[in-house]
Amino acid sequence: MQLLKDKILKEGKVLSDTVLKVDSFLNHQIDPLLMKEIGDEFANRYSDQIITKILTIESSGIAPATMLGLTIGAPVVFARKRKSLTLSGNLYSANVHSFTKNETNEISVSKDFITADDNVLIIDDFLANGEAVKGLLDIAQQAGATVIGVGIVIEKGFQEGGMHLREQGIRIESLANIKSLTNGQVEFYD
């Protein structure tokens, strides 16, 4: 998606050979117009499928997932990283090791919001080692839902998550796929 690639080149900050900071439009400040385009692009790419539920993880998956939900008219469920008084019992849970924080979180989704009748599309902001997506797949599987695919805003194709998931036959659509972040430069796959 050219608009997204241009934004990454203009505003993305390469923090290391493996980490890209996009706080100006995705991870801290949000660019709603770009998010709307992103939602529309996911809708286009999965227009051959019936999606009854969009599943993401807080917090940075919520904006793109919601814009997709707005376009296709499907509800968005976000896995929560912390339990609270209002989120206890009756949960599907999975462990996710965070690439950027180097800590493991238990993520949870209420059993009320994903069922065996759902056709689920998983959305997230980044795909690196695939831990977050694997946790969401685990939750969808516990619910007996059908996962029709994964939509990723920025895949870092030089890390192994995408490869492993595709090897398992999972459809992944990423809107920008980064080949390398070496020497402070962002290079994309075509």
14 burial via Cβ count (<10 Å: 0-12, 13-18, 19+): middle
- Please report whether residue 130 would count as binding ligand 5GP according to CB under 6 A: yes
The CB-of-48 to ligand 5GP minimum distance in angstroms stands at 25
Task: Tell me whether residue 37 is annotated as binding.
Answer: no
Distance CA 161, CA 46 (A): 21
- Residues 13 and 25 sit within 8 Å (Cβ to Cβ): no
Q: Is the dihedral of CA 176, 181, 187, 190 positive or negative?
A: negative
In the list 56, 60, 105, 108, the residue contacting ligand 5GP (rule: CB under 6 A) is: 60
What is the rounded CA–CA span in Å between residue 61 and residue 21? 15
Site string for ligand 5GP, 86-125 (x = CB under 6 A): ------------xxx-----------------------xx
Q: Please state the residue numbers annotated as binding site for xanthine.
A: 20, 27, 156
Question: Applying CB under 6 A, which residues contact ligand 5GP?
Answer: 19-22, 27, 60, 98-100, 124-132, 156, 161
